[in-house]
């Protein structure tokens, strides 16, 4: 079956512009996660969704970052007024969710964002 997909794979934008990153999770996965992978920084947790709700938004770096998920499926991460420090690979992952917290996360290929 299809894995987690993300689009676009690469995005180059000018400083100050808004960008939208999309994630299509594996069908049936109720939990969805966004991470940021910066060079030498590892994976930084941004937000996760359980269904359409986001119980934990603590990782969003600033109010320029927002995310939504509709229909318990596709999610969009929006970055407003992009800054050069937003340049990174943005990873999405999904998992079965439910009541057990240790479900394996399946990762997408990532979106490489470059802010010039």
User: Could you tell me how many residues of this chain bind another protein (CB under 8 A)?
Assistant: 27
Phi, psi of 86 (to 5 degrees): -80, -10
**Are 31 and 7 spatial neighbours (Cβ–Cβ below 8 Å)?**
no
d(Cα 25, Cα 46) in Å, to the nearest integer?
16
Those residues whose C-beta lies under 8 Å from the C-beta of residue 70, and which sit 6 or more positions away, are 52
Site for another protein in 20-39 (CB under 8 A): 31, 33, 35
Q: Does 61 bind another protein (CB under 8 A)?
A: no
Q: Does 65 bind another protein (CB under 8 A)?
A: no
Q: Cβ of residue 36: shortest distance to another protein, in angstroms?
A: 11
Q: Does 108 bind another protein (CB under 8 A)?
A: yes
Q: Does 53 bind another protein (CB under 8 A)?
A: no
């Amino acid at each position: 079956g299809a894995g987690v997909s993300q689009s676009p794979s690469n995005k180059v934008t000018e400083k100050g512009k808004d960008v939208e990153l999309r994630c299509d999770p594996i069908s049936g996965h109720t939990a969805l996660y966004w991470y940021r992978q910066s060079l030498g920084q590892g994976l930084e947790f941004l937000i996760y969704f359980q269904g359409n709700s986001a119980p934990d938004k603590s990782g969003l770096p600033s109010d320029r970052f927002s995310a939504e998920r509709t229909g318990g499926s596709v999610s969009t991460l929006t970055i407003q007024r992009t800054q050069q420090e937003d340049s990174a690979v943005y990873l999405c992952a999904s998992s079965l969710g439910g009541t057990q917290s240790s479900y394996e996360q399946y990762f997408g290929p990532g979106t490489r964002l470059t802010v010039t």
